[in-house]
Amino acid sequence: MQDAFVKPLLEWYQTAKRDLPWRHTKDPYSIWISEIMLQQTRVEAVKGYYTRFLAALPDVRALAGCPEDVLMKLWEGLGYYSRARNLKRAAGQIIADGGHFPETREELLKLKGIGPYTAGAIAAIAFGQPTPAVDGNVLRVYARMNAMKENVLAPGVRKRAEEELGRAMQGLTASENGDFVQAMIELGAIVCVPNGEPLCGRCPAADDCEALRLGIQAELPLRKKDTKRRIEKLTVLLVRDGSRTAIRRRAEKGLLAGLFEFPNVPGYLDREAAVRYIEEQGIEVLRIREAGEAKHLFSHVEWHMSGYEIRVAPLDEGISESGQWLFVENDEIEKRFAIPSAFSTYADYLALHTAPFAQNCKGKG
């Protein structure tokens, strides 16, 4: 890779960069939060979460001391909740080590949830070090600039990209190091875009782009096809006594660990089986109706869900016989319990159907 693109890229970045909240700070904590949120999540979606998170937890100490449920509430809807748990654990590590935010790539890599990309981004953006940060978008830019015909997900490719970009950064000033890292990210996001034709007419690195010279920019990068997701069928049960709805906590390990959810069972149950299941919990069923279907994609699993709204006889304590289901008001769910977006179809259903069932069915025989 030629290094001639570095200066034009830095000049381009000064005028073309988007005005994003985390670009107004060099505070390592804030940069860290932004970079973790931006993994697997779109910039537009992150903006609001970032501002809210920092207002609630302005520094490492606040994060380290934040109760898990409050943390999950702040993260609710962003997905990949282990990111939030790792943030808290890493904050604990920093506090245990005396509270000083690590300043080098090597030190940052010791923190829970921080890999080479995030370590490079924080070291460059917050501390001005010449450490590249190669995520999928930067890898795409790199693959195109070098007309790379190999699978970019193959072992060693990312490391090679880091080494070459690290070399290209030699001789830059501290603030240029941070800008270079963000400029590569920005180029991948708004010019060297995935899926179809990149906007090469606007690219500051076009003169050094081997893929453009060969006319193969739209065909790159080559990636091995994603592995197929496993499909899991579920029946989601919106069990309601009066205005309250049953929720329960998920297991401490595995997918969406420790978060709250509407009770659900594997497979598609018919009405009779759903009613039987509720009765097996020691709860008397009054009425049942369908609450629609939904799909949710995780990285390795796909949930195909079918839902029922089930009206049950009021429970005295608002707790099921087994003690595992909690009957709570809708506004309480919203305020206190983090229900992952995998269930958003059913949370929306509840919001739309807050009137008692009998009223909804008036006049329908």
Residues annotated as catalytic (active site), given as ranges: 35
Minimum distance, C-beta of residue 99 to ligand ADE, in the bound complex (Å): 25
Rounded distance between C-alpha atoms, residue 257 and residue 354, angstroms: 28
Full DSSP string of 213-232:
HHT-GGG--B-PPPPPPEEE
Strands 285-297 and 301-312: antiparallel
Binding mask 59-88 for ligand ADE (x = CB under 6 A): ------------------------------
Give, in order, the Cα–Cα distances in Å from 6 to each of 2, 182, 285, 290: 9, 12, 68, 58
Minimum distance, C-beta of residue 140 to ligand ADE, in the bound complex (Å): 13
User: Does residue 20 bind ligand ADE (CB under 6 A)?
Assistant: yes
Q: For residue 306, report the phi and psi dihedrals to the nearest 5 degrees.
A: -130, 135
Using CB under 6 A as the binding rule, the residues of this chain from 277 to 336 that contact ligand ADE are none
User: Does residue 43 bind ligand ADE (CB under 6 A)?
Assistant: yes
Cis-peptide into 221, omega within 30 deg: yes
Using the contact rule CB under 6 A, the part of the chain among 82-90, 182-190, 327-335, 354-362 near ligand ADE is: 182-190
User: Does residue 30 bind ligand ADE (CB under 6 A)?
Assistant: no
Instruction: Assess contact for 304 and 235: CB atoms under 8 A.
Output: no
User: Does residue 190 bind ligand ADE (CB under 6 A)?
Assistant: no
**Residue 71, token pair as written in the block:** 């943390």
Strands 230-241 and 301-312: parallel
User: Does residue 122 bind ligand ADE (CB under 6 A)?
Assistant: no
Which of residues 185, 259, 283, 310 is near ligand ADE by CB under 6 A? 185
SS3 292: strand
Nearer to ligand ADE, 125 or 236 (CB): 125
Minimum distance, C-beta of residue 182 to ligand ADE, in the bound complex (Å): 5
Instruction: Assess contact for 295 and 303: CB atoms under 8 A.
Output: yes
Could you tell me how far CA 313 lies from the centroid of its own chain? 38
Minimum distance, C-beta of residue 18 to ligand ADE, in the bound complex (Å): 7
Strand ranges (DSSP E) for 13-137? Answer: none
Binding mask 130-169 for ligand ADE (x = CB under 6 A): ----------------------------------------
Minimum distance, C-beta of residue 24 to ligand ADE, in the bound complex (Å): 12
Q: Provide the β-strand partners of residue 230.
A: 301
Nearer to ligand ADE, 25 or 281 (CB): 25
Under the rule (CB under 6 A), what is the footprint of ligand ADE? 20, 22, 35, 38, 43, 182, 185, 189
